[in-house]
Amino acid sequence: MAKTVLVVDDDPTQRRLIQAVLERDGFAVAHAQSGDEAIQHLTSGASVDVVLLDLVMPGISGQDTLKEMRARGFNLPVIVLTATGGIDTVVSAMQAGASDFFVKPASPERITVSIRNALSMGSLKSEVERLKKHSTGRTTFNDLIGDSPAMTMVKRLGERAAKSSIPILITGESGVGKEVIARAVHGSSERAGKPFVAVNCGAIPENLVESILFGHEKGSFTGATDKHLGKFQEANGGTLFLDEVGELPLDMQVKLLRALQESEIDPIGSKRSIKVDVRIVSATNRDLSNAVGEGRFREDLYYRLNVFPIEAPSLRERREDVPALVDCFVRRFNVEEGKSVVAAAPETLAFLTAYDWPGNVRQLENAVYRAIVLADAPYLQPHDFPAISGVAAPPPEYTPAPMPAPAMAAAPGAAPGQDQPVRVLDGRGHLRTLEEVEHDMIRLAIEVYAGHMSEVARRLGIGRSTLYRKVREQGLEQLVKGGAPEEADAEAA
């Protein structure tokens, strides 16, 4: 998805020149001829990634426009343009929140480098903000990528459920992002900022499930050398996310049910129960209702968990979200890998959107990660996704090795066609005679052109009759193709 640059300048010629430079490098361009028009464009919800802002304009100035943008919460990168380049002007703009500046007129290279640097800095800030929210438990539904109808429904349901302490069961295929939804529920609730503890119930050894969930006292069993707080106590005051809850053994399902009903747990070896205040969000990629019918999951626990179901859609059900997801992953992995990929090329986005993604968002994320590592161009190409597109990477361009300095003597046994100059010095370093050099030259020409005498004569710059005469004089008749020199002479005559 091409990055959009909003060019704010009252000079239409400047806008057109900058547009030509940016579109040649694959950017989309939007225009505004005043500060007021730029603010209106941003508040309309139009997609803008970078703003090029002229400082001197009629009406509201560039400085005031920048301050108004920041006051309204528009934190996208801003590059200011100035015709004067005064130090006071530049310092004032940078203090107001500009990320870079350049003096008009600027070279195309200066413009594109400035924009790419601003995009890289914006990606870094976004990644830092995402990690900060993730670590502090403040991820919200505004941080979920996608505006498809399916994702809009998930966000709407999740925001309503987050306002209460109702148990939530998130269902969906593997890789659709159930934990991301659970974190958004936590971050949108009153428990935001409190512990968010995730437990993969399918990855816990069966003999350790009780200890990991509820904890144990020191010496309660062989190997219990220290007291261990379980996940319920770690999540006290916050949210406990039970991923793949359908994998829990039946005996643990009974104890989990009691913990949910009584809001208390019994650590192994403890003499008394411990009260806990935990919000439960669970998730599964299985059909728990079928598991209940088959006796693999307790019916009472199922109804206790499935109070507010949310179904996470598969990626093939929300194809329109693929470009936004790709853009998000490109920014993230640019930061992690130190790359500067701008985006995916339009043809790349087309086949990524059309693909079914059996592994859902997780598969797309890993595919983009691999493509970022492989990519050498500013835009991801289909051959960067060979396992999905079926397009192999083009072979590297062949750069011939530099030819060695001309040697004064041909290498013994050199094959015809190799660039081996005719030897002009003898073994003692003296010049050979012209007749000897001419003999070697004609012999080499006949070998290179496989005895085609017309071509040999043309390349040597002499007539055919002259060539045949020299062949006889040099004793090279055995190399001639297509008849005796006498016949050729007669033909030439």
* Choice between 33 and 420, residue whose per-residue pLDDT is larger: 33
Q: What is the rounded CA–CA span in Å between residue 464 and residue 445?
A: 13
Q: Which of 115, 133, 151 is the last residue before a domain boundary?
A: 133
Burial 416-447 (b: 16+ CB within 10 A, else e): eeeeeebeeeeeeeeebeeeeebbbebebbbe
pLDDT score recorded for residue 357: 96
pLDDT over threshold 50, residue 444: yes
pLDDT score recorded for residue 403: 44
For residue 308, being part of any structural domain is answered with yes
Whether residue 14 is found in the same domain as residue 122: yes
pLDDT in tens, 450-461: 778 888 888 888
Contact 255, 212 (CB under 8 A): no
Average pLDDT over residues 248-270: 93
Element (H, E) at 264: strand 264-265
The pTM of the full predicted model, rounded to 2 decimals, is 0.69
Confidence of residue 417 (pLDDT cuts 50, 70, 90): very low
Average pLDDT over residues 285-301: 95
Q: What is the rounded CA–CA span in Å between residue 279 and residue 469?
A: 104
- Domain enclosing residue 325, as ranges: 319-389
pLDDT over threshold 80, residue 233: yes
Burial 357-375 (b: 16+ CB within 10 A, else e): bebbbebbbebbbebbeeb
For residue 13, being part of any structural domain is answered with yes
Confidence of residue 157 (pLDDT cuts 50, 70, 90): very high
For residue 424, being part of any structural domain is answered with no
Q: What is the rounded CA–CA span in Å between residue 259 and residue 44?
A: 49
Identify the bridge partners of residue 281 per DSSP, sorted by sequence position: 168, 241
Whether residue 40 is found in the same domain as residue 104: yes
Contact 358, 174 (CB under 8 A): no
294: domain CATH number is 3.40.50.300
- Which two structure tokens, joined as six digits, stand for 491? 């033909």
Three-state DSSP at 228 gives strand
For residue 323, being part of any structural domain is answered with yes
pLDDT score recorded for residue 481: 55
pLDDT over threshold 70, residue 334: yes
DSSP string, 316-377: GG-GGGHHHHHHHHHHHHHHHHT----EE-HHHHHHHHHS--TTHHHHHHHHHHHHHHH--S
Q: Among 20-29, 167-176, 318-327, 399-408, which stretch is predicted with the lowest mean pLDDT?
A: 399-408
Whether residue 262 is found in the same domain as residue 164: yes
pLDDT over threshold 60, residue 103: yes
Average pLDDT over residues 457-478: 84
Whether residue 163 is found in the same domain as residue 228: yes
64: domain CATH number is 3.40.50.2300
354: domain CATH number is 1.10.8.60
For residue 469, being part of any structural domain is answered with yes
* Choice between 345 and 86, residue whose per-residue pLDDT is larger: 345
Q: Which of 88, 110, 133 is the last residue before a domain boundary?
A: 133
For residue 408, being part of any structural domain is answered with no
pLDDT in tens, 4-42: 999 999 888 888 889 988 888 888 899 999 999 999 999
Q: What is the rounded CA–CA span in Å between residue 115 and residue 93?
A: 17
Whether residue 327 is found in the same domain as residue 182: no
Q: Compute the 3-state secondary structure of the chain and give helix, strand, coil in percent, each to the nearest 5.
A: 50, 15, 40
When divided into structural domains, the chain yields a total of: 4
* Choice between 429 and 216, residue whose per-residue pLDDT is larger: 216
For residue 480, being part of any structural domain is answered with yes
Whether residue 378 is found in the same domain as residue 442: no
For residue 398, being part of any structural domain is answered with no
Whether residue 346 is found in the same domain as residue 472: no
Confidence of residue 406 (pLDDT cuts 50, 70, 90): very low
pLDDT over threshold 60, residue 407: no
Distance of alpha carbon 419 from the chain centroid? 46
Q: Which of 100, 133, 166 is the last residue before a domain boundary?
A: 133
Whether residue 211 is found in the same domain as residue 244: yes
Whether residue 281 is found in the same domain as residue 329: no
pLDDT in tens, 107-154: 888 888 888 888 888 778 788 888 888 889 899 999 999 999 999 999
pLDDT over threshold 90, residue 188: yes
Backbone angles phi, psi at 225, to 5 degrees: -85, -15
Across all residues in the chain, what is the average pLDDT? 86
Whether residue 128 is found in the same domain as residue 50: yes
pLDDT over threshold 50, residue 491: no
Q: What is the rounded CA–CA span in Å between residue 455 and residue 459?
A: 6
pLDDT score recorded for residue 46: 85
pLDDT score recorded for residue 156: 96
